[in-house]
Structure 1
């Protein structure tokens, strides 16, 4: 290739790819290709983008460049691709020191379209001609009339308000900023909401101009494709138009700390939360830099070994001292390698005790040595993580992994192979290498920070009030002309957001034709076998030597009042003592032999009759074929010999489980609120709420907080459930791997099966009553997550594939425009399942009343929907992946098991796909009344900011706190 200079070439087993590193001769653009037999083709372009201030400019540029460009003239080509592409990945991400734009697709024509749009977006965005892009995605003054309250609005602004609502995020950021003050890592690349409004349009444009140049770019190609053809396309259409420039994207590092720094911060808490110990304590170190491959591995290895593993000695010492309810590690994704230990729900006044325990534990490990079983188990765990390579999105994960060395002027290949480091560490274990490493990098390392975080009563409310006062002061100081100018800009922005793209602009967006779509659905059909009377499903897939085993037990005998106990029990077995192992020894045995063993309760809904459902417990294990036997022996130990009177350990685990659920509530608030809403009108969703949703959380929280009073009953109930959980009745086993391995392990599975008894299960049915609870559930968040919906089948609608197309239209057009673009929420959407259960959602949303109004108008929007055949074709194509998604080998096993249990066939899926392909506007219009009726049922649930919820109190039957 005449326009590229080959720098390095190597076949790397760990990524099953022939890897080549190039430099583009004219511009110096850096290029990496991973050629393999994966039909999922990926492209990425990234830039080194060190933040200069905490005003979010890197993040706002990331959003804005995808809002129109030189060749692609619509307001949001990104959303046009979301709605019209066969993409298997389409996103952009801001890191502390880089911004990346990755895409992937299994369709070659689609892949080139995506690559073209993204390259044009980063090099020729419309941001220079259209300020409104910056105002919408970044921030703007919002004022529609001179009597209105002046506000800040903007997508990134509201997204970061959501991020800054999480105490865990606040603690994590504070540690990084303290370790790296006065450096590129000492400010938030995502943007501090207090600083985002200091970013000017000019500074924003200058930042793009400075860093978004081929000479500062990192280009990536992956998959089964003609790399020369793709590279020539990139050169001819983009890189050839630029000359090499010296781009100063140098990352500024701080001087290493010469002594440990002490930091104290606060985070917001409600009155209810202030009564509890919800402080944080944290200790963080910088242990090296990413140009050392060994240090990169060892930082992550120590996080697991010392802190995160069930047998981790620091975690164990903290719990034995009763110092915290949860302990976890944090690691950085930047050039400095940071490692910190975080104690959550602790007492800040016990800081000295914490530091003493930490020091003593580490000294003891260095002096007496680390348990060799724990070392072996942790190394094996990493080997499985590397073997799996990132699962479904491995093509994108490999790009991010390569940048971990590439961005810092090392070879990108260094970060892709790992056997050398694993082998090096294994060889050095007997020389006390890990112990000496701990002494050097942790015990003797003064480049560290001790952090204390305490709750402050209603801090978010106070700061919101101060913000309103500041904005009022700003408004009062404005002249009439300035106010009129802001009003004019607000109205013009809303008009811009409301205007449909012109036909000419739409024609610039590349798209596929319906003739490009295969009407078939990929059939991963497993081979059906039997082991005695037990069904054995075998999915033949390339898994890099791993066998995924799922043993699915029928637990439909569980009574309603036993569900939460059963679910908690399945979360803790495998993590408590058994008759032959302490929980630490059990952890080591699990990970020496396998990549993990879990017990998951699952509800499957019959595809032919939604009133019919199946409650099952899936024992999941990943291992090599040689270790299936040992893995099953460990499963036997857990299911027959768990010690359920491990009172102290179970209390620890309850606190951890509670803490982790609370963390995911804010991170995945849209999924959480959908599950709550659906439990009002869906029997299955209500059961799922008791298995892992709000009802489960409330039960668990009550048990944890009143443990002494509840323990005796819980222990007795657990014993009753445990005795009957593992029956042979209706047993199904599903495996994924090389077919010869799956045949080889049948004898091992038979040994497991033969120990099980047939219990002649009697199914328990649960009463369910549709109930419109309309709850406003508040936290200390600054934003909300709102959902409205109903069961459309109860209103007479039967599922058809064109509902998936309608969901795509609503997601990427109506809800996106009204709630995200205009309303400033980070996201909004709708889900419509095969069972016709429908739920809307908003994500990190500042504007509840507007969002509900938008939901209420959905029926009207559908009834009056008009669009060209070309537009409809794009929406149809964009919905195709719903019928045939990209799956990892493990997910293929899960899908095959689910389809077998629910009786969902390939023919069913292909029928739905045909219905989607035959979508017509008139039929969609006819759904409008049903959606209108659904919204008039007025089932609503909202989670988040108390002040936003109380401002719309008339929406709710009950407003209450989620602590």
Structure 2
């Protein structure tokens, strides 16, 4: 059925009404977000549908299935990948990825959680919404799931080498993805925690897949899992936005529901049987043999708590989490950190309400394994003290304020707002809870306030949920420097044994499958059956947000915006006057700025006041290239703060005290923060390895790239790690002096420009508060003056070619080449070329054929750098060959105008991604600081719409042909992997370093 072309509001529906085979069960006004909730079920199949009608053009969809694996083969995860490899109506090999090229979506993805799999998208274009809906429905309910797709996405055997060197190897996208994931301590900790606490339910399994178990999954098992789980009787549909519900229901009923009858999918998750006594558990993670295992363990406690459907108890536990761990002054967090046993809270610390039974975990990382009992004593002693002596009422008030603030704030980070509402409610809804209870907690908040006023309510809950609860485990996650080698040897022996057992028929089958898969991957296919948008569907204008006034007395820009009762303060400070020797420490200064305390208040007092009055405040360091100033680098520190409008005065008081009285005299606290910061940098290596590799490869091309690596890359980690290892009293005093000097360079009278964002009354109140204070009113410069001191351009480019070793079973491979920046005629062409290259070349070569999780091409119009990168990649040398062949491929590929249009759609979907009013204003202000005005943005988009195939090919020839320009190469991988690659890269090996 084709939906109507206009956008009528949702018609008046009534409870009990039947429409398109659905029955309306509930209609609930969501006054807090100015929306209406509709809950329906499909009478024939039992499918559920949740619709949130709201005046928001960014419409969202999601269909979620309860997926409850009984093993760690990764069946749910592999199925998520495989259903997106072709369907009944769209039998192309990758309709999902193809639709990324044919859409203006603001979000497209698929998720596998411990007990559900979700297929969500969002878009601002009505035609696009129904195009994507058609593809998503066909993919989920009528996928092909052929054996070759299973082998590509899940796992397969291939023969490599010749003669006596002939060997079997495992390949597969999910297989390599999970090898990478299980190299990360935080991933291992999270999955081990579930295994320890839920040994008798689906949560005890690794839903993503254990690499040692993944190869046991069969194609028949995958198809059977789909038949049972991907059925309307097991489906939870969700729609959001200003498109009419009736149209959604008509399409879903027409496309899906008529082909199914109700079944019992048997996917209910029973509660974990409760223990009668606490337990202990020990797990290990792989550590590079070059790293010292001493004090590299994690230790802590975890409890099984309430049923996820009990919204009041979930709220109570969220408040208790905030009280215990929410800020540096929180008693449990402070007790753990003050012990000096570890560097930061253990991974997965906090309250987790994603599973049928909720959990709470806390502990320390970077401890000695023998410290586990000491960590347990600290946790239990702190909880006992709070239960018996009571919780400071101000801490309870602040905790509730934090939860209320973040529920009130409308953001699109990291997901569009409509999808954030789905993710908030899906866990409870899947297990029989009411989604409207999750989305409007007013009654629960009112009850909570009454209970707290009546007596020691939270203290009693701590006693019940923690001290008297025997379902508790003491967890240890210990490093094992031999684990990776042991697992590799086990895999080698297993594959050698399988090779020895292969008969001729089995060998021919493996070779034939490899040939057929390669043939499929390299074949050109007709994707014309897939729906698409046209160039004419692209909005010709960019979205803008202009200031409502520039202040005449203050360096202040005014942005009057409908921000739902929240006020935002943002500011820009130039860091160009910071001494060269101090520049590497600017990011740590930003990290420590709000966490150190002041001359008048210690860090505990500052933390408590911050949580009581704001929704967060802090500094961030950015190395920016100024638009229109070739080679110029603006080292920038951004100030951000936000609060409910009633809290403008106390929030400004904190900001002014931090600026005027910043102090590093508390050396013990400084040492704590240094350890926390180092730990956070180390944790990002495996998660953001592709970004770090790009940063390393780009650092030789321009001052901004070099400073970006110094501030946010591997070199920042090395700087911090070196200092942290020798953090004696003298070293800490030296560091304190550096931070004090940085503060002195930043907070000078002519070095701050601010923007006030909020409702008109809030902006006026904030201006008055600024004028009345001694600190912010003391910054004197014209509001229109956004020029700050710049760092000089690099004298000459330097093409690094490096390998950086770490604990990882997979690689991250990046190559960067300097091109041209925004303002050059080729800039829009390079933007299109980056999407084109990923779509028609890198996705196939790096992911489909190479087995990496992803292959990317990125063009940065600010710096003029063009990068290619891979994520969780089993290859190094082959991937570098792929990069080198990019220009040759494009010349020979027979590109079409349709290819260009698809790449253009991808660029414009990013440009046109909407922001809520507060974020839109803050981004607009920052764009002005770095020299990007709206006229330039509009001109760039107009030039984008004129990009042709000839221009794209010319740009590829000019900038991507090997030898035309210096290139930077960086690989992050395990040491053995790097050394093996260097044996193949004999003509131009990587210079090896250790992270």
State the TM-score, normalized to the length of structure 1: 0.96
What secondary structure sits across from 1:222 in the alignment? strand
Cα distance in 1 for residues equivalent to 2:467 and 2:234? 38
Greater mean deviation of Cα atoms: 261-270 or 105-114? 261-270
2:852 aligns with: 825
Change (3 A) 1:423 1:667: farther
Work out the CA distance in 2 between the residues paired with 1:111 and 1:700.
Answer: 47
SS state at 1:272 partner: coil
Alignment of 1:773 onto 2:789? no
Q: 1:162 to 1:275 in 2, by over 3 A?
A: closer
Whether the 8 Å contact between 2:484 and 2:809 is mirrored in structure 1 is yes
Cα gap change, 1:748 to 1:511, in 2 (>3 Å): same
In structure 2, the CA distance between the partners of 1:664 and 1:531, relative to structure 1 (3 Å rule), is: farther
1:858 matched residue in structure 2 = 886
- Corresponding residue for 1:254? 272
Unaligned runs of 5+ in 1: none
Q: Are residues 868 and 209 of structure 1, via their aligned partners in 2, closer, same or farther at CA, if it must alter by over 3 Å?
A: same
1:81-106 CA distances to partner (integer Å, 9 max, x unpaired)? 11121001101100111111011100
Distance 1:306 1:402, change over 3 A: same
1:724 matches 2:745 = yes
What is the distance in 2 between the residues matched to 1:628 and 1:111? 40
**Contact 2:648/2:766 (CA < 8 Å) preserved in 1?**
yes
Whole-angstrom CA distance in 1 between matches of 2:248 and 2:24: 15
Of 435-444 and 670-679, more deviation after overlay is shown by 670-679
Structure 2 alignment gaps of length 5 or more: 1-18
Tell me the residue number matched to 1:479: 503
Deviation at 1:199, TM superposition (A): 0.3
| Deviation, structure 1 residue 933 | 3.6
Structure 2 residue 311 is the aligned partner of structure 1 residue 296: no
CA deviation digits over 1:409-444, x for unaligned, max 9? 122212111233333323323411111111110111
What do residues 737-759 of structure 1 show as CA deviations (whole Å, max 9, x unaligned)? 22332233211122343234679
Within 2, Cα distance between the matches of 1:680 and 1:662? Answer: 23
In the aligned structure 1, how far is the partner of 2:686 from the partner of 2:600? 39
Corresponding position: 1:52 with 2:49: no
Contact 1:83/1:879, CA 8 A, preserved across alignment: no
Change in CA separation of 1:172 and 1:811 when aligned onto 2, cut-off 3 Å = same
Q: Residues 243-322 of structure 1 correspond to what in structure 2 (within 5 A)?
A: 243-322=261-340
2-structure distance, mates of 1:532, 1:543: 25
Counterpart residue number, 1:615: 635
The offset of 1:250, in angstroms, is: 1.8
Query: Relative to structure 1, is the Cα distance of residues 570 and 561 closer, same or farther in structure 2, using a 3 angstrom cutoff?
Result: same
**Equivalence for 1:633:** 653
Query: Judging changes above 3 Å, is the alpha-carbon distance between structure 1 residues 15 and 210 closer, same or farther for their aligned structure 2 residues?
Result: same
How far the C-alpha of 1:118 sits from its partner, in A, is 0.2
Give 1:578 shift.
1.8
1:132 aligns with 2:132: no
Partner SS for 1:11: strand
**C-alpha contact (below 8 Å) 2:554/2:779 kept by paired residues:** no
Pair 1:567-2:587 in alignment = yes
> 2 CA distance for matches of 1:88 and 1:134?
28
Give the stretch that moved more between structures: 144-153 or 192-201: 144-153
Aligned to 1:900: 928
**1:959 alignment partner in structure 2:** 992
CA distance in 2, matches of 1:790, 1:934: 10
Partner in structure 1 of residue 395 of structure 2: 374
Matching residue of 1:417 = 440
Name the CA shift for 1:684/1:763 in 2 (closer, same or farther; >3 Å).
Answer: closer
* Residues in 2 aligned to 1:261 and 1:561: alpha-carbon distance in whole angstroms: 51
Residue in structure 1 matched with residue 528 of structure 2 by the alignment: 507
Q: Say whether the 8 Å CA contact 1:145–1:487 is kept in structure 2.
A: no
Structure 2 SS opposite 1:829: strand
2-side partners of 1:533 and 1:246: how far apart? 66
Number of residue equivalences: 956
Deviations 1:518-540 (A, max 9, x none): 211112222232141524141x4
Q: CA deviation at 1:219?
A: 0.5
Asked whether 1:814 is paired with 2:845, we answer no
Please give the per-residue CA displacement for 1:788-832, whole angstroms capped at 9, x wherever unaligned: 011113999754312222111111221000000111101110111
CA distance in 2, matches of 1:602, 1:525: 23
1:891 matched to 2:919: yes
Task: Please tell me whether the aligned partners of residues 884 and 962 of structure 2 are also in contact (alpha carbons under 8 angstroms).
Answer: no
Deviation digits for residues 833-853 of structure 1, max 9, x if unmatched? 113211111101111111111
Query: Is the alpha carbon distance of 1:762 and 1:52 closer, same or farther for their aligned partners in structure 2, counting shifts above 3 Å?
Result: closer
SS class of match (2:610): helix
For 2:443 and 2:870, the matched residues in 1 are separated by 46
Matched, 1:443 2:467: yes
Residue 940 of structure 1 deviates from its aligned partner by 0.6
1:638-649 residue pairs with structure 2 within 5 A?
638-649=658-669
2:4 is matched with which residue? Answer: none
> Is the deviation greater in 132-141 or in 635-644?
635-644
Alpha-carbon distance in structure 2 between the residues aligned to 1:665 and 1:270:
13
Matched residue of 1:632: which SS? helix
* 2:909 matched residue in structure 1: 881
Q: 2:155 & 2:574 partners in 1: Cα distance?
A: 53
Q: Partner of 1:543 in structure 2?
A: 563
How far apart, in 2, do the equivalents of 1:477 and 1:919 lie? Answer: 56
Q: Quick check: 1:802–1:918 contact (8 Å CA) kept in 2?
A: no
Aligned position for 2:769: 748
- Residue by residue over 1:23-54, the C-alpha shift from the partner in whole angstroms, topping out at 9 and shown as x without a partner, is 11222110011001111011111111111211
Task: Supply the RMSD in Å over aligned alpha carbons.
Answer: 2.1
Given that 2:662 and 2:743 are in contact with CA atoms closer than 8 Å, whether structure 1 keeps it comes out as: no
Structure 2 counterpart of 1:455: 479
